[in-house]
Amino acid sequence: MRLDGDLASTPAHIRDYPWHGTRAEAARIGQRVTGEVVSVDTERIWLSLAATEHPELWTFLKGLRAGEVLTGRIADVQNFGVFVALDEGPPHPTYPGVGFVTTPELSWKHFEQVTDVVRSGQPVRGEVLAFDTYNGEARLSLRALQPDPFQVFADEAEVGQQFPGVVTKVVPFGVFVRIADGVEGLIPSKGVQPGDSVQVSIVELDRDRRRLLLTRVR
């Protein structure tokens, strides 16, 4: 892309295309386009066409800060996450909501289906993680505003302590055992199946990496 004016000699590239239509429709050879500069490096300038297509949404998203708390309602539930219609700010031109929560950010607890933890129409509070310029979304986390069950468990547990548990998953390097709500540890051995009850002892507890190594007590 060639820019007008004093920047004509500086290469420019499109980072974010409009949310409607195809890329071919948005930027044809010889077509004049208007975009907002979103990044500049030593070799090129990056433009966003989506920013000028819906400036009110772009302005709202750029004003968000990581750690800020937003409220809204679950607008759509998918296997990969949920869309949130925010209480404040403009609507999204394409998606059911401007807020989006990926599946891992829904809850600290283990769950099989997204609908196990949220439902359509449910009011929620989410912490802002980032502004997704490609999709024009506010990436949110619901679990960031929930107590981390692993850290709560680690406050009271210690190496050598024993717990009853239930095997949840068998993997090539061992089995995972749930010993508290939202807390699972690894036994690096097999011989049990999902659903089996076992007695385990803590071998290692790593708070920073949220890892728990267990051994089976026979």
- For the stretch 6-26, pLDDT in tens is 444 444 555 555 555 554 444
- Which of 3.40.718.10, 2.40.10.350, 2.40.50.140, 3.40.640.10 would CATH assign to domain 149-216? 2.40.50.140
- Look at the pTM and tell me if it is higher than 0.75: no
- Which of 3.40.50.10300, 3.90.1150.10, 2.40.50.100, 2.40.50.140 would CATH assign to domain 65-145? 2.40.50.140
Centroid of chain to Cα 21: 26
Q: What count of other Cβ atoms lies within 10 Å of the Cβ of residue 189?
A: 12
CB 167 within 8 A of CB 177: yes
Summarize pLDDT for 152-167 with one digit per residue, the tens: 999 999 999 999 999 9
